[in-house]
A and B are shown apart, each in its own frame.
Chain A
Amino acid sequence: MKELITFENTEIGFKETLFTIPKLNLERGKLYSLIGKNAAGKSTFFQSLLGIIPFKSGKININQLEMSSISALEKAKLIAFVASKFDGVQHLSGLEYVLLGRSPYTNFLGKTSENDLEIVKSIFQNFQITHLEQKETLKMSDGERQILSIAKALAQESKVILLDEPSAFLDYSNRIKVLSLLKQIAFEKDICIVQSSHDLEICLEYSTDFLIINSKNSELILTENSNLKKEFLIQIGF
């Protein structure tokens, strides 16, 4: 089964409908870029998927399961989320921060096992950020913190990772670093990654598919990277 998330006539929005998704499958091994105008509903889309706010109507299935039937704990094992910014916490080290990503698997005291530590350490090695393990998150740069947040999402071992404008606060070289990292993760771990962005150029270079919020008819449409035309974006009012 390649599909991880399926939508059917889903209306996204809290009080009023922001956009609808007639039919859409999000698959493994892909890096989707969600694009749309400001206030088009990108963050709302993520929050609905995470179950933080409800969606108006229609169906969302995650890993063949009806959204409403999934408990918070099960959902944490299916979907991870990276916010656009993590400000750091005093006395919280990089290692402790990423270890919190193992919470869905730890006991009621939150005690991490050898296995948890091994998983997290290997992520630090993979990302080549072992120098951040003991560094206090409060004293890191925005770029370092963002990469740690992605590491934490990866430690969650979920099947989907959602990222709300992960590169909004980063400089050019860090944006490229983050995006290439995401692409690598999507392929290597065979998971589904959705990131929202306003930076079309970088998205065109790294993402496999585009999710576009069409402001003209308020629909979410899927377009493959190679099929994305500038004229089309202008036409739908991006």
Chain B
Amino acid sequence: MKITHRNIILFLTVCLVFLSFLHLNNGKINFDFGLIFKSIFNFNDSIQQEIIFREIRFPRTIIAIFAGTGLSIAGVLLQTFFNNPLAGPSVLGITSGSSLFVALSVLSGFELFSTDLGITFSALFGAFTFSLLILLFSYFVKSAVSLLLIGMMLASFTSAIIQILQLTTPANQLKVFTLWGFGSLQQISFNQLFFVSIVFLLGISLLTILIKPLNLLVLGEKQAQILGINISNFKFVIIGVSSLFAGLITAYCGPISFIGLAVPNICKQLFKTQNHLILILGSALIGALLLLICDLIIMYLEPIMLIPLNGITALIGSPIVVWIILKKF
């Protein structure tokens, strides 16, 4: 069989389906199609097995796929937009923006801000604000590395504020927030999944209008305009969609690092193309796969020790970043 883009996509999809079932099946109760179907569509809350599937396993698998996909796509958009292979939602400080606003809303003590809607809204707001901030800085600094340093400074600045906020917080809220900060795929419930899916699909559908502009943006803003696409019309859509993904995932899983940075680079190395339809599809699949693998490792090690998600992603992600730097800078 020839190695074409289509075949690699097909192979990754098969892997994703397989790993999803593996992920879903992990635990004491064996996997059963009838059981999972019933737990979702015909739920009976007196059967313990159905509760476990509906409230614990199914949301965890789905959010792993969503988080891997969303962060990786945000990474692709940001890397092309800033023309920087090391860009990503966490390095540019966008997830820190989400964290800051989530911290402010959770620790503020107002009931309204601590609801799902409140947290999601503040995470999205934080991501979008910090994206705009980075966009603003990008007009003044021309060097790709400088922009990353500014992103990292934004991150340390926000983490300092968060630490100060934590000092004055009651223990209960503090624990919730600290656990959230480690990054986890176990906090989401079945009922929240519906809302998350809608926002997620909104982001996916907006991607369709971005593929052609992104393909041309590879040649620079001026060339894109000469080929009939005015990039300034798309600037805020690109920033908006990447913030939407980064903010949404951060709200429900905490700030997950490295996925958004590493996955697009793995994808480019694998597909060797600049066609963003392929890059987005490929990164989405690889991102979902990688996060499922990370979470499976956490599950398998659970009897021995409890590793936070960010620990695993950093272990896998940071060598990849060093490899990119060695190759390109």
Name A residues whose Cβ lies closer than 8 Å to a Cβ of B.
Answer: 50-52, 72-73, 75-77, 79-81, 83, 86, 89-92, 96, 100-101, 103-104, 106, 108-111, 136, 156
Contacts and interface: CB of A to CB of B under 8 A. Distances in A.
Given A96-B275, A109-B208, A50 B226 contact: yes
A225 B230 CA distance: 38
B51 to A, nearest CB: 43
Contacts of A96: 273-275
Contacts of B273: 91-92, 96
Contacts of A103: 212, 215-216, 227-229
Given A91-B272, A104-B227, A110 B208 contact: no
Contacts of A52: 222, 225-226
21 contacts: A52-B222, A52-B226, A72-B225, A72-B230, A76-B226, A76-B228, A83-B223, A86-B219, A89-B219, A90-B268, A90-B274, A92-B274, A100-B219, A101-B227, A103-B227, A109-B208, A109-B212, A109-B277, A110-B211, A110-B277, A136-B272
Nearest to A106: B212
A136 B209 CA distance: 27
A151 to B, nearest CB: 14
A50 B209 CA distance: 24
Interface string B188-232: 000000000000000000001101100110110011011111100
Interface residues of B, number: 23
A79 B225 CA distance: 11
A9 B219 CA distance: 34
B212 A104 contact: no
A146 B227 CA distance: 17
Nearest 9 CB-CB pairs, A to B? A76-B228, A110-B212, A73-B228, A103-B227, A92-B274, A104-B228, A91-B272, A81-B226, A110-B215
A109 B219 contact: no
Contacts of B272: 91, 136
Given A76-B228, A90-B274, A110-B277, 15 more contacts: A50-B225, A50-B226, A51-B225, A52-B222, A75-B228, A80-B226, A89-B218, A89-B274, A90-B268, A91-B268, A100-B227, A103-B212, A103-B216, A109-B208, A111-B277
B82 to A, nearest CB: 15
B281 to A, nearest CB: 12
A100 B229 contact: no
A119 B222 CA distance: 24
Contacts of A106: 212
Most A-side CB within 10 Å, residue of B211, B227, B275? B227
B221 to A, nearest CB: 10
A113 B310 CA distance: 44
B52 to A, nearest CB: 42
Given A108-B208, A110-B211, A92 B218 contact: yes
Nearest to B233: A72
Contacts of A110: 211-212, 215-216, 277
Interface in B61-83: none
A208 B15 CA distance: 61
Interface in B258-284: 268, 271-275, 277
Contacts of B218: 89, 92
Nearest to B228: A76
